[in-house]
Amino acid sequence: MAIEIRQFPCLSDNYGYLVRDLDDGAVAAIDTPDAAAINEALSASGWRLTHIFNTHWHPDHAGGNLALKAQWGCRIIGPRGEAAKIPGLDDAVGEGDKVMLGQSRALVRETPGHTLGHIIFHFPDDGAAFVGDTIFALGCGRLFEGTPLEMWTSLSKIAAMAPATKLYCAHEYTQANARFALTVDPANEKLKRRAEAIAQARARGEPTVPSTLAEELATNPFLRAADAGVLAAVGLSSGDPVAAFAEIRRRKDNFR
């Protein structure tokens, strides 16, 4: 009923994650950005892969599925809304489904926006959520398939989790996200301090992921779309968070 997590870089800026249930040793890869890197992490830990949990169909998330399944015979669990696009899928899951990894329990939440079928895996008893490309440290996923309202609704599900929850996102985008965040939330002292800490961590070559939901609630502009200071900075006076979120996302898409 407790998990152990290994985190390692994959491709140019993805993170791979292995989650192991301490009771019976079941091991899940959260997404499969790079089968070779996942195999290296497995052999370094002496762990055997039993599951793959996919968040969405993008190749940097499901591209290693078939190679790993051929090697390990692992069971692949992924989003019902993208079942046809997830290589080797065994179990299609959706909102509210409970997925067991050994004795450990993950709850599935549907978080459309980045893709329409995107799901996240929340281990409430362990205070951990694997959020794929829905929320990033100081950012959120691009709206390739969904609408601002869908993504805002998805982010709101994450915002309602316990504040101490650790958010394991799929990319190290934090330093660039911080530069943008400061442009739409310039008076936020916590954000300024966090941006400095992020720059120092990256200069030392350290990951900035996971963060906690509490940190994101205080500093992530995409969660703070209803904040008066953020609204003013993007030139909106109304308190409509979806309109503000859409404007912040539009600005981020054009930010260099």
- Catalytic positions: 56, 58, 60-61, 114, 133, 171
**Piece of 88-96, 98-106, 130-138, 160-168 that binds Zn ion (CB under 5 A):** 130-138
State the minimum distance, in angstroms, from the CB of residue 186 to Fe ion.
Answer: 28
Per residue in 96-132, is it b (16+ CB within 10 Å) or e — as a string?
ebebebbebbbbbbbbbbbbbbbbbbbbeebbbbbbb
Q: Does 110 bind Zn ion (CB under 5 A)?
A: no
Count residues near Zn ion (CB under 5 A): 2
Helix axes 189-203, 174-184, angle to 10 degrees: 160
Residues 6+ apart with CB under 8 A from 16: 7, 8, 9, 10, 29, 30, 31, 32, 33, 34, 37, 38, 41
- Binding of residue 34 to Fe ion (CB under 5 A): no
Nearer to Zn ion, 58 or 69 (CB): 58
Within 64-93, which residues bind Fe ion (CB under 5 A)?
Answer: none
- With CB under 5 to 8 Å by kind, the binding choice for 215 among Fe ion, Zn ion, none is none
60 binds Fe ion (CB under 5 A): yes
Strand order in the sheet with 128-132: 98-101, 104-110, 119-123, 128-132, 166-169, 211-212
The helix/strand/coil state of 25 is coil
Q: Any contact of residue 145 with Fe ion (CB under 5 A)?
A: no
Q: Which stretch binds Zn ion (CB under 5 A): 63-71, 129-137, 191-199, 237-245?
A: 129-137
DSSP 8-state symbol, 195 = H
According to CB under 5 A, which one of 34, 82, 133, 216 is a site residue for Zn ion? 133
Q: Which of 21, 126, 133, 247 contacts Fe ion by CB under 5 A?
A: 133
Range list of H helices, the chain: 35-45, 59-62, 65-72, 148-159, 174-184, 189-203, 213-219, 228-233, 241-253
Nearer to Fe ion, 59 or 186 (CB): 59
Choices 3-11, 57-65, 175-183, 196-204; region in contact with Fe ion by CB under 5 A: 57-65
**Residues 175-214, interacting with Fe ion (CB under 5 A):** none
Which residues sit opposite 120 in a β-bridge? 109
The three-point CA angle 141-146-96 to 5° equals: 85
- Count, in order, helices (H) and strands (E) of the chain: 9, 14
Size of the site for Fe ion (CB under 5 A): 2
Should residue 58 be labelled a site residue for Zn ion when binding is judged by CB under 5 A? yes
Q: Which stretch binds Fe ion (CB under 5 A): 18-26, 133-141, 173-181, 230-238?
A: 133-141
Closer CB to Fe ion, 102 or 117, in the complex: 117
Binding site for Zn ion (CB under 5 A): 58, 133
Binding site for Fe ion (CB under 5 A): 60, 133
